[in-house]
Structure 1
């Protein structure tokens, strides 16, 4: 289990986010449309990532020495992340209540998935700058919220949420079916100086991949890219140069 803690000179200036998507339709393992992006009030003080290898042991009672175990493949990753929410500087605000509710909804079936006759809660992608180990497509298995401060009307203005995420694996080209390796779509918020070409070079190492980004976001005019726009960046295996 790997743990990361922040503080001091090593404190990240990049804000962590949780992209919440509709589940895909059919057998796809690529997240569906973006429902919302959950912006953290504060970056996690710590998070944990775990992964297990699956080995098969075959009993052999007639043999004195135990047989060699057979490796069956890696298990999907699991991640625990703590989210601290605080609006105590605005005692009448209900932002903490709304944010906790949006996390709890990650364990509820979406209306679109019911309409598609494939009931499923949302799929999510946690992102924190260049921390690629923690970025993968997942489902939220549990949300535990602890409210620790309340406003004069009884509305919570401080809370700590514990999230458990479980990876949803997908196969890439040439990958063994038992492997859980994954390259996930992620969401990028446009900042000054960004262009589709620069994002394509940064993500895929080829500026020609800008067309894939444009298609994924239904962009007709690639020169019009307002700051703050949220772009879905396709997984590398989806991009054709």
Structure 2
């Protein structure tokens, strides 16, 4: 049996099936860089908007096609938020698995066939989805899980100063000491430490488990 594409509303679990599967999909990513020439640094990866063309036809049953298309049109309206902040529902476009997560940014509806009464029975929809990331996905898009940070030891370095500069918290110095097998942190750096390269543990990594104090 041919699997149908569907739109899943994350907040409610509502499933909106498409009537006919799209004939093609284009999933693109854009890399954001900073700098020029030989000094180029990676910033993040952005998911480009997903644009999907959908076709609906209720001519055989002589019923209003808007009973199908209105469910998608409703995704342009805010449904969550508090106070002055209003947010559209976050949805997943799925077809043999989740393909894209985001919100409906733009909806174009074209009704192309009508009954004698004026009721529309055929529609072409062009839906533009804008990507929305979870906190984990946002960290991944910024490369937190792909690159290790390195630090070259200088004479005046102290572990708490390195932790403050690289991890944002001087209290995390012990993580650096443990990761680099520094057994006498109070004596760091010794003459043999100068010029060594330290690996700075990635506290955002999925594999990182913070120590439990007892």
Name the CA shift for 1:180/1:121 in 2 (closer, same or farther; >3 Å).
farther
Q: Which residue of 2 aligns with 1:43?
A: 21
Report matched runs for 1:1-241 at 5 Å.
13-21=2-10, 32-34=11-13, 36-58=14-36, 66-91=37-62, 93-94=63-64, 96-110=65-79, 113-114=80-81, 118-130=85-97, 132=98, 134=99, 136-172=100-136, 175-176=139-140, 178-179=142-143
Cα RMSD for the two superposed structures: 2.8
Instruction: Name the count of aligned residue pairs.
Output: 146
Unaligned runs of 5+ in 2: 146-205, 207-214
The TM-score, its normalising length taken from structure 1, stands at 0.53
- Report how far residue 118 of structure 1 moved: 3.7
Task: Look up the SS of the partner of 2:39 in the other structure.
Answer: coil
Higher radius of gyration, 1 or 2: 2
Distance 1:143 1:119 in 2: 19
**Contact 2:46 2:141 survives alignment (8 Å):** no
What is the rounded CA distance, in whole Å, between the counterparts of 2:107 and 2:54 in structure 1? 10
Query: Does the CA contact (< 8 Å) of 2:45 and 2:141 recur in 1?
Result: no
1:137 positional shift: 2.0
Shift of 1:172: 2.9
When normalised by structure 2's length, the TM-score is 0.60
